[in-house]
Amino acid sequence: MQSVCSLLPDQYFRKVVDLRAALCEDLAVGAIYDPPFVHFTLQLAAEYDWPELAAGLAQFAKRNQPFEIRTIGLLAFTGTSTGIAIAPCKDPQLADFHAGVWGIASRCAQGRVDEFYHPDNWVPHVTIKRCGPTEQSFGKAMASLAKEDFKWTMTVDNVSVQHDPGQNSLTHYQRLRFPLGGSSGPPVDGPPPSETNAMMREVLEETAPDGTTAWVAKVTRDAGGELEARWSGPEVVRIMAAAKSSMVHFRDARCRVEEERVVSVVPNTPFSIAG
């Protein structure tokens, strides 16, 4: 589904990416897909009228200034699909911000809108990692995070949209991003196409006999020669976060290779990554 959200500021974005990557050392957890962003969702819908959504969110962002929020600890999702998230405090300012975005997005929504994110039901959360159905992996992840202090204060400075063109919650990339009050956010990671030096033909997911998962990126260098780069779960987390795109959009994408490693990707998305 398409996701209207706010991305965390760079300092905390990177901190969560580091935590997510560390949890992916557990191979069972590392094989489970997470959207490449660090964010809290404001609305999920099957589809949007994109021109109207962009115009509405742009005007909303101009009218609203950045503001601070606090996080108060961890939030656990249990049942058949476990997950661990950071819990922002739902104070009046955050609730008003969410309600304002919800109203605009709802007028542009097409098809099903997830009621879990309705202002009357909304539980703000920043997902660190989906852990799946394995109790041992979920428990191990919680134990790993227990030593961390998740009482943070951060600035909400944007409203963004993750486009999921496959409508399967596996094909996300950052299609829209509007800074609140005209503030400037962090630049998009990764080099522009002119600074790349290779073409990524495809990324294949491989499962070994022991059940472990790895990803193989097949790359053709501009100067000639082929490269097969193998990525572990932690590496996949980091490269998707930097690209602000799932690996689905890495096929036929420009990339940069340094010392036999793919260090960045300019994803081949239906629309450009929003900065």
The string of pLDDT tens digits covering residues 62-116 is: 999 999 999 999 999 998 889 999 999 999 999 999 999 999 999 999 999 999 9
**How high is the pLDDT of residue 92?**
97
Coil/strand/helix, residue 90: coil
Residue 139 is encoded by which pair of tokens?
Answer: 């428990």
Amino acid at residue number 127: T
Coil/strand/helix, residue 143: helix
Q: How far apart are CA 180 and CA 53, in angstroms?
A: 16
**How high is the pLDDT of residue 182?**
75
Alpha-helical regions (H) of the chain: 10-23, 27-30, 50-63, 92-108, 135-145, 233-243
Q: How far is CA 105 from each of CA 108, 123, 140, 154, 173, rounded to the nearest angstrom?
A: 5, 18, 38, 24, 18
Cβ atoms 122, 5 nearer than 8 A:
no
Q: How far apart are CA 174 and CA 186, in angstroms?
A: 13
Q: Which residues pair with 156 in a beta bridge?
A: 67
Backbone angles phi, psi at 41, to 5 degrees: -80, 140
Convert 118-152 to b/e letters by CB count within 10 Å (16 or more is b).
eeeebebbbbbbbbbeeeebbebbeebbeeeebeb
Cα dihedral angle (80, 126, 148, 75), rounded to 10 degrees? -40
Q: Which residue has 């605009």 as its token pair?
A: 104
Task: Report which of 187, 56, 69, 45 is spatially closest to residue 125, judged by C-alpha positions.
Answer: 69
**How high is the pLDDT of residue 264?**
94
Cβ atoms 37, 5 nearer than 8 A:
yes
**How high is the pLDDT of residue 186?**
45
Secondary element (H or E) of residue 125: none
Average pLDDT per run of 10 along the chain, which is 275 residues long? 97 97 91 93 98 97 97 94 96 98 98 97 97 91 94 97 95 97 56 81 84 88 95 94 96 95 95 91
**How high is the pLDDT of residue 226?**
96
